[in-house]
Amino acid sequence: MSAATEAVQKWVEQVVIGLNFCPFAHREVERDTIVYQECHATALETSLQAFANAVQQLLDTPSKETTLLVFSKGFTEFDDYLELLDYAQLYLQQEDLEGVLQIASFHPDYQFADSTADGASNYTNRAPFPVLHILREASLERVLKRYPNPELIPQRNCEQAELLGRDYFEAILLACREPKQR
C-alpha cells in the first residue's frame, strides 16, 4: 500500500471514525466495503479519467459501498482541486448519475466559503491528501433514515472541531502522513 493511501486510511480511522465525523463509516470499514484507489496523475484530464474509472468500478461492484479516490501527487492547490471537483460533479450530471452517486470532498487545505483559512471547522473536511469520496446515494439515504437528526451532523462536527482546535488536527494529519513502523 502506498504512503498516500495509508495516510488516508489512518485519517479515516482516527478522524472520520475516531471523532465520529461520519457516524456511518465504522460499519463500512468493518464490512470492508470501502475501496481506496490512488491516482498519481497531476493533469486534470488524466485525473478525470481516473475518476470516471473509479465511478465505473464502483457501479460494477455491488459489494462495495464507497470509493475514496486519493490524489497522491496532484491538486495540492485547493483552487485546482475545486476545479477537479467541479468537473467530477459535471461528469456525474452528464452520465445521468445524479441521484445514484454523490461526491464528498476532502483536501489538506479545505476551506469552507464562510470560514477563515485557519478556522478549526475546516478540519472536518481536511485530509492528508486530496480525496474525492464517491458514495452510493441509495445506501446513504437508507442510513440517514435510521439516524436521528442527520442534518445536524455537519454542525456538530464543526462545533467539535472548534473545541478540539487547529493544533489538535494538525498533529493528527502530521501523524497520519508518517509511515507505519514495520
Which tens digit of pLDDT belongs to each residue from 90-125?
Answer: 999 999 999 999 999 999 999 999 899 999 999 999
Residue span of the structural domain in which 162 resides? 3-177
Whether 182 maps to a domain, the answer reads: no
Whether 10 maps to a domain, the answer reads: yes
Asked if 88 contacts 52 with a C-beta cutoff of 8 angstroms, the reply is: no
The one-character DSSP state at 116 is -
Which tens digit of pLDDT belongs to each residue from 14-29?
Answer: 999 999 999 889 999 9
Residue 68, CA distances (Å) to 4, 35, 64, 151 in order = 12, 6, 11, 23
Total structural domains in the chain? 1
Whether 171 maps to a domain, the answer reads: yes
Whether 116 maps to a domain, the answer reads: yes
Would you state the cell numbers that stand for residue 114, as one nine-digit string?
Answer: 464562510
* pTM for this entry: 0.94
Whether 74 maps to a domain, the answer reads: yes
CA distance 110 to 78: 7
